[in-house]
Amino acid sequence: MTVARAVLSGGITVDVTLLKHFAQVAEELHFSRAAKTLNISRQALSKSVKQLEAELGVELFDRSADTTQLTDAGRALLADARAGIAEERLRVEAVAEAEAAPSSLAIAFVPGVTVGKWTLAWEKRHPTVALRFAPGTEDDAVSVLWDGIADLSFVRLPVVRKGLSVIPLYEETTVVVAPKDHPIAAFDSLTLADLADESIARDPESVPDAVELVAAGVGVLLLPQSVARLHTRKDVVARPVTDAPTTEIAIAWIEDDLTAPMEEFVGIVRGRTVASSRASGTVDAPARAQKETSGSSAQNKEQKKDPKKKPAAKNTAAAIRSGIVRPAPHVRRAEKAKKKRGIR
């Protein structure tokens, strides 16, 4: 069984159980009462404290005093011990919550994006992790990420990228939508100069309403090709405009919330095959945590470049404390709720 360890402020890692035993004695300043509280023997508790003292190379309790008293080193360690114990509790709670949570991934997408080919590939590789879909508008393509509605979102650029990771995927041709009896219908493609005399609508608030107006003969409309396809009608035609600015589709997520399932889905979208997949066969562990414990060559190279740079923390609790790894979104939300209720 893996022993949970906490990182002290000096960078030393110690067994969390030893810290718990020390902290209980420090709280009660009485070995027998502390042993009773911990439901262990007095001898076992003394052994734990001596083991901790041996690992740290200091005495934590003044054994010359008539009553149990902390030494200066003991008082200094107590705050560190409490922090380490609290982090371990959060880690255990996060693991339990993650295991209890339904295994799924929420995908949002703007109009015009077809996700079918990617979802089929996902279902073949990861049939136990369900995909949930949140079709939306271009206006809420990013907000669904911040609101926790979606893990990943297919967006149409440009978007506000602050706090996001954004990977461009492909460009879309712009087309002009016109009534079917319009002279435009006679061409295979056009240029913007060909439309110089037309009343052109761009970026309408409501595409269906705009197409309705076009069908009624009120001007023409410029749209991304995929969006125009969504609103195909018998009374309108769409033709490519060869020199019109293209639009670009990208996939985005909150940069601090990347998980292994998200990274795997992004890999599928970018064309990563099963053979080339970086996934280890499981997609239920945070990708950053996997990187943290992998001892990657890239990390080692970075350390050689800057020897003063602090190495990555050696466990999850330390990684969270140092900012290398953030708790999962649902864990952060739970912690905020606890703080509001005054729970520590």
State the chain's maximal CA–CA distance in angstroms.
103
When pLDDT is cut at 50, 70 and 90, the band that residue 41 belongs to is: very high
How confident is the model at residue 149, as a pLDDT? Answer: 93
Span 184-193, pLDDT tens digits: 999 999 999 9
Angle (nearest 5°) at CA 252 between 241 and 302: 120
How confident is the model at residue 122, as a pLDDT? Answer: 94
Nearest CA to 148 out of 168, 132, 161 is that of 132
pLDDT at 75 over 50: yes
> For residues 262 and 256, is the Cβ–Cβ distance under 8 A?
no
Q: Which residue has the higher pLDDT, 175 or 319?
A: 175
- Count Cβ atoms below 10 Å from residue 114 Cβ, excluding itself: 12
pLDDT at 129 over 60: yes
Alpha helices in 39-195 (DSSP H): 42-56, 72-100, 116-125, 143-146
How confident is the model at residue 87, as a pLDDT? Answer: 87
How confident is the model at residue 47, as a pLDDT? Answer: 95
Q: At residue 298, what is the residue type?
A: A
How confident is the model at residue 12, as a pLDDT? Answer: 83
CA 309, chain centre distance (Å) = 25
Question: At 13, is the secondary structure helix, strand, or coil?
Answer: strand
Span 193-220, pLDDT tens digits: 999 999 999 888 899 999 999 999 999 9
Distance CA 325, CA 280 (A): 20
When pLDDT is cut at 50, 70 and 90, the band that residue 244 belongs to is: very high
Span 79-104, pLDDT tens digits: 888 988 988 888 888 777 766 655 78
When pLDDT is cut at 50, 70 and 90, the band that residue 53 belongs to is: very high
pLDDT at 169 over 90: yes
Angle (nearest 5°) at CA 243 between 173 and 205: 55
pLDDT at 276 over 90: no
What average pLDDT does this structure show over 141-163? 95
Q: Which residue has the higher pLDDT, 315 or 224?
A: 224
Proportion of the chain above pLDDT 70, given as a percent:
77
